[in-house]
């Protein structure tokens, strides 16, 4: 692959390029073709969400997908992106303590996928608050929200 063919750095992907990467990863996974490490992560997340399979198998539909106003329908690409973000955080334990929180959530919920969802809710809320206030996301707030979710599960 020449440098002209190299994919852009992750932060410079357009919405369509990101969606295309999901479709390509799933297509390659189904064909049992070799996957890049990122494609393998995407395919792993997609395996957990069969409700998204039809969408990513239809590249035109994936590229055209638009969440209805008012959030009546979840954006599957945002959902999968949050899974990937949480998995990256866990792999490097950033913010420090997030890996231990995942383990505690996994123990409480009995399932790593559900534990990821609890962290994803906290991450989404933290990102929303940061965007609303025009500030950088607060890692301490993120861990606080995740800790609250864990505490509320322990109280059940």
Q: List pLDDT tens digits, range 41-70.
A: 999 999 999 999 999 999 999 999 987 665
Distances (CA, A) of 106 to 7, 32, 43, 100, 124: 34, 30, 21, 10, 19
Q: Angle at CA 42, nearest 5°, toward 94 and 118? A: 50
Band of pLDDT at residue 6, cut at 50, 70 and 90: low
Band of pLDDT at residue 133, cut at 50, 70 and 90: very high
CB atoms within 10 A of CB 98: 21
Band of pLDDT at residue 117, cut at 50, 70 and 90: very high
Average pLDDT along the chain: 89
Higher model confidence: residue 154 or residue 98?
Answer: 98
pTM for the full predicted model? 0.86
Give the 3-state secondary structure of residue 131. helix
Distance CA 23, CA 27 (A): 6
- The sign of the torsion formed by the CA atoms of 145, 147, 153, 156 equals negative
First to last CA, the chain: 54
Q: In the predicted model, what is the mean pLDDT of residues 122-126?
A: 95
Determine phi and psi for 120, rounding to 5 degrees: -60, -40
pLDDT of res. 2? 44
- Per-residue pLDDT for 39 more than 70? yes
Distance CA 15, CA 31 (A): 25
């Amino acid at each position: 692959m020449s440098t002209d063919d190299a994919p852009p750095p992750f932060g410079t992907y357009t919405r369509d390029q990101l969606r295309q990467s999901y479709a390509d990863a799933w297509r390659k996974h189904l064909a049992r073709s070799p996957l890049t490490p990122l494609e393998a992560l995407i395919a792993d997340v997609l395996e957990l969400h069969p409700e998204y399979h039809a969408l990513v198998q239809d590249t035109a539909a994936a590229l055209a997908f638009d969440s209805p106003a008012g959030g009546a329908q979840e954006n599957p690409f945002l959902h999968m992106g949050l899974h990937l973000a949480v998995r990256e955080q866990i792999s490097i334990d950033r913010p420090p303590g997030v890996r231990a929180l995942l383990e505690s959530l996994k123990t409480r919920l009995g399932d790593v996928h559900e534990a990821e969802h609890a962290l994803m809710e906290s991450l989404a809320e933290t990102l929303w608050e940061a965007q609303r206030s025009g500030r950088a996301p607060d890692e301490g707030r993120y861990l606080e929200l995740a800790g609250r979710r864990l505490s509320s599960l322990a109280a059940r």
